[in-house]
Amino acid sequence: MNANTESIAFRVNRNDPNLKELILEYPYFPRNADEWEVLGRSIGRNTHLENIEIDFISWVGDENEHVAFVRSFCHGLSQNRYLQRFALRFCDFDLFENGILQQLVPFLEHNQHLRVLDFYFSPIESGGARLLGSTLTRRINKSLEKIVLSGTEMGLDDEGESVNDLLTSLKEYPHLKTLELETNDIGPAGCTILSSLLDSPNSQVEKLDLRDTDIDNNMLVSLTSSLAKNTVLQELNLGNNLSITVAGWAPLLSLLRSPTCNLKKISLNESTINYNVTVALVDSLTNNHTLTSLVLCGNPSITTPGFVAVSTLLQMEGTNLEHLDLGENELGDDVAVALSRSLAKNCTLKSLMLNDNPSITAAGFIALSAVLRNPISRLRLLDLRENNIGDDSK
């Protein structure tokens, strides 16, 4: 360990009551198996730590050695009963196949203080999904509030079947507010279970990330049917679900048009949305006063007329839109000018993302700069990275 890491490890071992958070990332890792094991045992005995995050991104070296390090670390940590937040992120080896998730079962089952569990892009695959589901079912205190399973490769080798038990176990967690399932194949049956979770009058889920989960038209019908009765969910990400066809977006548009819809943020990045869907989307939001964030980045098929239609949202009376993301859409100066005109009397938008639109030139920037000088404007972030502004805009 380096000097700073050794100091932190010493404080962990001494059960320092002032040390509440431990964040480890490469290259500030223990150097060998003994140091990993000692740190794990120290955490296992610690009663004051509340948050541990380990970020494995860019960790270089022998994978078999890394597996042994992490397994011995988790074996010691598994005795901890006081952590509230636990994260293993960007692990590049399977946590289940290598026995690491199994080492964590006593911690996950018996730590009744745990509120946040995060395995962001750390694969557990189908076997791990089944094990995690059974472990969460056995927990006595259903205290989890946030579960991040993005990129864990659940269901990819069994068409989502392994996800079913896991999602079923979550129906017993009345305090769950955030569920992130990005880049997992949840399958039709898993979607039905998820829909029933959202349909429950006891559901407290406020944020649901379903990016790249292979949702199709029928699955979207099931989800939106449940959300029509749900007034709790505030954030929904359906980006990069290319199995939803152009016609398949109709149920979502109906949901956004409903007076009971409480969604504040919706992300539809990198989807099949085209001009016609966009015009219908704008129409569905005409009387929507709850939406504050709309993400449409990576949808060039919307085309210039479609994005001009989106700009009219900023003119609508009663709009509460604060964040609009139109990055990576092959936009040009026509859209930039339309946005600047719509923003002339807008006093709600705080951030506008127009990054990676190289056809926006100095002319578009000059039009948008007028918004920044407008005394009624609340715009604080205008992202024009990777555009073709040039020196003429200075």
State the angle between helix axes of 303-311 and 333-342 in degrees (0 to 180), rounded to the nearest 10. Answer: 10
pLDDT given for residue 288 in this prediction: 92
For residue 315, the 8-state DSSP code is G
Q: Contact 388/361 with Cβ under 8 angstroms? A: yes
State the CB neighbour count (10 A cutoff) for residue 157: 12
How confident is the chain (394 residues) per 10-residue block, as mean pLDDT? Answer: 70 95 91 92 97 94 92 96 97 94 97 97 94 96 97 80 90 96 93 94 96 96 94 97 96 93 96 97 94 98 97 92 98 96 95 96 92 92 87 50
For CA atoms 122, 81, 104, 143, give the dihedral sign. Answer: negative
| pLDDT, position 9 | 85
The amino acid at residue 12 is: V
- Give the span between the Cα atoms of 140 and 111, in whole angstroms: 9
Which residue's structure tokens are 């089944």?
A: 130
pLDDT for the residue numbered 338: 97
Rounded CA separation 315/343 (Å): 7
For residues 80 and 110, the answer to whether their CB atoms sit within 8 Å is no
- What is the predicted pLDDT for the residue at 305? 97
Q: Considering only CA atoms, which of 295, 298, 387, 278 is closest in space to residue 336?
A: 387
Question: In b/e form, how buried is each residue of 192-226, taking b as 16+ CB within 10 angstroms?
Answer: bbbbebbbbeebebbbbbbbbbbbeeebbbbbbeb
Question: 326 near 298, Cβ under 8 Å?
Answer: no
pTM higher than the cut 0.75: yes
Q: What is the pLDDT of residue 389?
A: 74
Q: Alpha helix (H) ranges present in 171-274?
A: 187-199, 217-227, 250-257
pLDDT at residue number 8: 83
CA distance 273 to 193: 26
In this structure, what DSSP letter does residue 239 have? Answer: T
What letter would DSSP give residue 32? S
Asked if 42 and 11 touch (Cβ cutoff 8 Å), the reply is no
Token pair for residue 161? 């079947």
Q: For residue 387, what are its two tokens?
A: 């555009």
The pLDDT score that the predictor gives to residue 2 is 53
